[in-house]
Amino acid sequence: MKIMIITITSMIIFTLVTSLVSSSTDGGVCPDLWHPFGRKCYRLFENPLNWFDSLEVCKDNLASLATVNTEEKHKFIVEKYCSSSSNSSSGPCERWIGFNDIDVEDVWQWASGAKNDGFNMWGPSEPNDRDGTVSEPYTNHGDCAAMFRRGWSDRNCFAQLNEYICEKERNMYILKRVYGRNGSPACLKETELADLTLRSSTTVRSRVDCFRLCISIEHCTVFQVRSDSKNALTCDVLLSEAKHAQYDSGHDGCDMFIINI
């Protein structure tokens, strides 16, 4: 028998749950392929683009080019990505970051809008408003910063670097567990999923994996995790509209959650 969801009786601050996926204690999670450091998430992109196009890709990912405003952050990025990226294991490990003096020469600012508090890691003789060596034409301005393993240099913003680093806020999520009228966890049966599922029958190892799958998919705000008789877990990732649907309740081993950001 189908009944409307009538109560959402528990709220779980999801940072409690995310402690399972991140050792950090300051809350928030990063989507797949993004890595946490402090309160931010970082991701290395490895397709050759100029600075402007790199920034656009970051924005498409609700991020900005990295604001590398502490030495610790610079070190994290070097240690995290200089050994794994395709062009950097032994090379200079060069990639775009958000620092630029595009608007006013020698007034450096962060693409993210973060205040420039004076920190920088310019390499020797940088910034020199030149791309590459001094033999290049002076008109070839250096207005966009690239970070290397050991420091930064200003380069021509239209130069195509192989890599760039995006940065965004870690998200704070609140999960609401969904209950039916009789107080047992509400859930959709397999036969009811077809119209409401973005991606169903994905095997996961844990509820947290299902949560992470959901937040990596646009428009997903509801997910449920079903376990079968052998305790294998199946993750159903649902369209947001699903929360207005009617659900069965009382499935053993099935839990549904609504994500509020």
Determine the length of the chain: 261
SS3 letters for 139-188? CCCCCEEEECCCCEEEECCCCCECCEEEEEECECCEEEEEECCCCCEEEC
CB of 109 to Ca ion, least distance (A): 12
SS3 state of residue 95: strand
CB of 124 to Ca ion, least distance (A): 11
CB of 89 to Ca ion, least distance (A): 24
Q: Which is nearer to Ca ion, 101 or 255 (CB)?
A: 101
Output the six-digit token pair for 11: 């709220």
Closest CA to 111 of 174, 69, 173, 162: 69
Task: Give me the torsion for CA of 101, 104, 106, 111, rounded to 10°.
Answer: -20
Q: Which is nearer to Ca ion, 76 or 148 (CB)?
A: 148
Scanning the chain, the segments in alpha helix (DSSP H) are 14-18, 51-60, 71-81, 207-215
Q: Which is nearer to Ca ion, 126 or 209 (CB)?
A: 126
* Contact criterion met (CB below 8 Å) for 260 and 176: yes
Q: Which is nearer to Ca ion, 101 or 209 (CB)?
A: 101
Output the six-digit token pair for 15: 């940072």
CB of 65 to Ca ion, least distance (A): 16
Closest CA to 155 of 174, 171, 136, 170: 136
- Residues contributing to the site for Ca ion (CB under 5 A): 101, 128-130, 142-143, 153-154
Task: Centre a 10 Å sphere on the Cβ of residue 230 and count the other Cβ atoms it contains.
Answer: 5
Q: Which is nearer to Ca ion, 155 or 168 (CB)?
A: 155
Q: Which is nearer to Ca ion, 155 or 207 (CB)?
A: 155
CB of 236 to Ca ion, least distance (A): 52
CB of 245 to Ca ion, least distance (A): 56
